[in-house]
Amino acid sequence: MAKKNPRRTRNIVIASGLVVLLSGGGAAAWAADRFLIEHVEIADVSTYEAENSSVDSSSSTDDATDSSDDTADAVQTDTSYTDGDTSVTISTVTSGSGSETVTYYVADVVLGDATDLQSAFAKDQFGENITELTSAIAADNDAVFAVNGDYYGFRDTGILIRNGVVYRDSPARDGLVFYADGRVEVYDETATSAAALVADGAWNTLSFGPAIVEDSSVVDGIEDIEIDTNFGNHSIQGDQPRTAVGVIDENHLVFVVVDGRQTGYSAGVTLTELADIMIDLGATTAYNLDGGGSSTLYFNGEVVNQPSNGGERATSDILYIAG
């Protein structure tokens, strides 16, 4: 389990850069507004989603409740969790040696219903620059399992649908869409709209990337893709901590969190190496999420991995399964 260390956030890193590079008053004010100041658009996401979700997940919830009357309560151990038809199994893999050592964590997730995989925002608010630790967001939502999401709050582009609710419709890149019927697909945001996706049953979308596996093969050119070009961003190339989600079968997902930037423990991996890991795990499709210091896997009340900042870095959103 990761040690409890002082909180270090992306905002602190960005802020230090702003002090050095943007000493002018107008520029500094702009940068602070863009990267540091919270811009809350929706202050109570839970209520907003309850009133606006386009997907009716009540039937699956009712089914789960009914089945629990006839079976044992949810089973939770140090490495696995089962509740009805939904299960999460955590494993740790270490390969290589010395400076080439890589350590990553695998969550094999089988969903009783596609809507069992949910999203949550930091502080239960939607907007830019609103952040909270993955573990705190998870605890606030009674999550038994969670990973960091796509850090939507660092940018103002992308199609953002969460738990059946449209939050943003600004197409920019290849996204990943989870449908309420169990389908998961990579798609071109610029070729559709949030409304069209919702009409087709979209439950959650992610806007980061790139897609790293399609049709059980490594996607060409992934080492050349830059996701963000805003001030303060680091390249996603080279050996880095990573978070990714893969699709093995309908309602069968695999999440991988790779630790990195820690000599002798885990160097991190390239996007191609991450794709190879996902293929070895049986993924036919896989998509890269926010990584670096954000990469966090939470399970059973603890952060399982060792984030590269020496402790968790605050992020804007998570994907999770409630306990």
Nearest to 9 by CA among 230, 318, 322, 310: 310
pTM for this predicted structure: 0.85
Stretch among 10-14, 308-312, 313-317 having the lowest mean pLDDT: 10-14
Q: pLDDT > 70: what percent of the chain?
A: 84
Nearest to 117 by CA among 55, 67, 173: 55
Stretch among 78-92, 135-149, 234-248, 300-314 having the lowest mean pLDDT: 234-248
Nearest to 144 by CA among 205, 79, 203: 79
Say yes or no to pLDDT of 57 above 80: no
The sign of the dihedral angle between the CA atoms of 223, 227, 230, 235 is negative
3-state secondary structure of 31: helix
Question: What is the token pair recorded at 47?
Answer: 């209520």
Q: Tell me the average pLDDT across 149-173.
A: 96
Higher pLDDT among residues 311 and 76, named by residue? 311
Q: pLDDT > 90: what percent of the chain?
A: 76
- Listed in sequence order, the residues at least 6 apart from 3 whose beta carbon sits closer than 8 Å to its beta carbon are 306, 311
Q: Tell me the average pLDDT across 251-275.
A: 97
Residue 75: Cβ-neighbour burial (10 angstroms; 0-12, 13-18, 19+): exposed
- Listed in sequence order, the residues at least 6 apart from 242 whose beta carbon sits closer than 8 Å to its beta carbon are 104, 256, 257, 258, 260, 268, 269, 271, 274, 288, 291, 295
Q: Tell me the average pLDDT across 63-87.
A: 69
Say yes or no to pLDDT of 321 above 80: yes
3-state secondary structure of 221: coil
Q: Tell me the average pLDDT across 238-257.
A: 97
Say yes or no to pLDDT of 169 above 80: yes
pLDDT of 110 reads 98
Stretch among 56-70, 91-105, 192-206, 272-286 having the lowest mean pLDDT: 56-70
- Label residue 186 by pLDDT band (50, 70, 90): very high
3-state secondary structure of 299: strand
Q: Tell me the average pLDDT across 43-54.
A: 94
Higher pLDDT among residues 74 and 99, named by residue? 99
Say yes or no to pLDDT of 75 above 50: yes
Say yes or no to pLDDT of 69 above 70: no
Q: Tell me the average pLDDT across 148-162.
A: 96
Average pLDDT, the chain: 87
pLDDT of 115 reads 98
Say yes or no to pLDDT of 197 above 60: yes
- Label residue 246 by pLDDT band (50, 70, 90): very high
Say yes or no to pLDDT of 173 above 80: yes
pLDDT of 22 reads 45
pLDDT of 226 reads 75
- Label residue 323 by pLDDT band (50, 70, 90): very high
Q: Are 257 and 296 in contact (CB under 8 A)?
A: yes
Question: Which of left, alpha, beta for 129 (phi over 0: left; psi -120 to 50: alpha)?
Answer: left
